Amino acid sequence: MNDHRDHRAGLRTQREEIDDARLPVSGAFPDWLSGDLIGNGPGQFEAGDTELRHWFDPFAMLRRFRIDDGEVRYANRFVRSRDYAYARERGGVRTPFPGTPPDRPVWTRLRQVLDGTFPDNPVIGVQRFGDEYAAVTESPTALTFDPDTLETTGRIDLTAGLDCDLTLAHVHYDPDAEEFLNLGVSYGRDTVYTLFKRPKDGGTPTALTRLRFDEAPYIHSFAVTDRHVVVTVNAYGLDTARLLRGAVTEETFLDAFRPLSAPLRFVVLDRSTGERVATASAPPAFVYHHANAFERDGEIVVDLVAFDDERAVTGLALSNLRSDEPDLPRGDLCRYAVPLSGGEAERETLHRGPVEFPVINYRAVNGEPHRYVYLAETDGASSLPTDITKVDVETGTVRRWRESGTHPGEPLFVPAPDGDDEDDGVLLSVVLDPEADRSRLVCLDAGTLDEVGRAELPHRLPFGFHGQFYGLSTPGRSMA
C-alpha cells in the first residue's frame, strides 16, 4: 500500500466531512481579505470495490475557506451527485467516466450511449449563477450547493436553450456586460462547438456562432480579449466510433483519445457577433488552460500552457500518477502570436515546465496586456506540484515559493482592494503535507511570494483542481 509520506497522499480518498471548523492561524491574513475561497476536486477514488482509473474520475468534494478579520473557518463535503449516490448505495460506477466504464449490463450501457447520458459528478470547478453557487464539470448538469453548509441543493441544466450535449467548466465573465461567455459541445456526425453568452443570473443563453469539425477535437478552455474570443482547437481529440463501441467493449474516453489529422488551430471570433475573423495554425500541441490573451499590432497574443502530445490526457491515469517513477507530460508556459489576417501562429516559450494552473490578476488584466503569470510548478520527481512560481513575462524574471516535502495547489490570485500594481494582492493555495498527513491554506504576498499567513486543516485533502474567491473586492470571478 502506498505510504502517505509522498505525493500519493494527494491521490487517496478522504471520507471525513467537516461541517464548520475554526482553523489555527499562524502569521496573519490581510485585514482587507474577506470572503470565501471555494474549491473543488477529487475526494473519493473508488466506487465500491472498483478502483477509478483516471484523475478526472474521482467523486467531487467541495472545500470552503471563509476568511474574515484574520480568522479562517473551514468546511468540506462531497457533492451529492447521482453518480456519488449510486456508488455509495450500489458500490458501482453509474455512467461512463473519462477513464472508468460503468459496471452495468450491456443494454444499460447501450441505452446511455443512445440517450446521451453523461456523468453528473462535477469535479472540476465552481461557478456562481446570481445568488446560486454550483459545482461544475464538462457536463450538461451543474449541481447547486449552499456556500455555508456545502450541502447539495439542486440541479441546473446548463444546456437548456442551447443545441448542445454539454458545456465547458471554464467560463469567462464580463463584469461590464454582467454576462458569461462559454462553449457548448455536441458530438455526432460532426462535432460542433457553440459559442454562447449567458446573463450572470443564469438566465436564458444566447448562441453567437457554431464551429463545425469533421473530427472531434477536445477543447478544455478558451481565451478572450476586449473584442475577440480565441478558441484554441487542440490537435488531439476523440475517435468517436471507438467511443460509441465502448458501450459494448467497455472502452472509455481515455481509450478513444488520439492525435487528429490537423494542427493546433486558433479560431478567432468577434466577441459581439460570433463572426469568424481569422484562423491560424501551429504545430500539434495540447492545451488545457489559458493564462490570458490580448491584442497587439494586428495580432492576438495568447499565453497558455502547452503540452507536446496526447499524454497530457492519457498520462493522467492514476496508475501512472501513483507509480514510483511516473511518466509525466511536461507543460510549458508558451506565447503564441496569432495574426488577425490568419496564417501561421508563432510560438515562444516563456517558461519551461512542468507547469500548470496558470493564473493572472483576472479582474484587472483579463483580455488586456499582462505582466505576471502565476503557476503550479513540478520539480519532475513527483506527480504533484512542488512550487508556486511567478513569471514576469516582460523581463523573464522568475520567483518561487517552496516548502520542502509539500505540494501546493492552484495559486488563486485575490487583488487588494486599493492596489495600484498588477501584482498587488495575495495568492491563496491549499498545500498538501504528506509527512504530516495534513493540508493547510497558505497565503502569499503576490508581489514577493513571501508567506504572510497559514491556516492548518484538521485532515489531509486530496489534491484539488479549481476554485474561486468570492468577496467584496472580487464580486465576479477570480479566474477563467
**C-alpha–C-alpha distance, residues 402 and 424, integer Å:** 20
CB 39 within 8 A of CB 126: yes
Looking at residue 480, its pLDDT comes to 62
**C-alpha–C-alpha distance, residues 100 and 409, integer Å:** 25
- Which strands, in side-by-side order, build the sheet including 35-44? 18-22, 71-78, 59-68, 35-44, 467-471
How many angstroms separate the Cα of 127 from the Cα of each of 133, 144, 329, 406, 477?
Answer: 6, 9, 29, 28, 8
The domains of the chain are located at: 7-471
**C-alpha–C-alpha distance, residues 78 and 62, integer Å:** 6
Looking at residue 474, its pLDDT comes to 57
CB 468 within 8 A of CB 35: no
Which among 340, 335, 344, 331 is positioned nearest to 229, based on CA atoms?
Answer: 340
CB 29 within 8 A of CB 464: no
For residue 434, give the C-alpha cell: 504528506
Which among 318, 392, 410, 403 is positioned nearest to 355, based on CA atoms?
Answer: 410
pTM reported for the whole predicted model: 0.95
Average pLDDT, the chain: 93
Report the topology of domain 7-471. Methylamine Dehydrogenase; Chain H (2.130.10)
- pLDDT band of 29, cuts 50, 70, 90: very high
User: Is residue 240 over pLDDT 90?
Assistant: no
Mean pLDDT of the 223-231 span: 97
**Tell me: the pLDDT tens digits for 292-320?**
999 999 999 999 999 999 999 999 999 99
237-259 burial string, b = 16+ CB within 10 Å, else e?
bbbbebbbebbeeebbbbbbbee
**Tell me: the pLDDT tens digits for 198-207?**
998 888 999 9
For residue 75, give the C-alpha cell: 468546511
**Tell me: the pLDDT tens digits for 338-388?**
999 999 999 999 999 899 999 999 999 999 999 999 999 998 778 899 999
Looking at residue 473, its pLDDT comes to 56
Q: Where are the beta strands (DSSP E) in 272-369?
A: 276-282, 286-296, 299-307, 332-339, 343-344, 346-351, 355-359
Q: What is the DSSP letter of 252?
A: -
**C-alpha–C-alpha distance, residues 30 and 430, integer Å:** 17
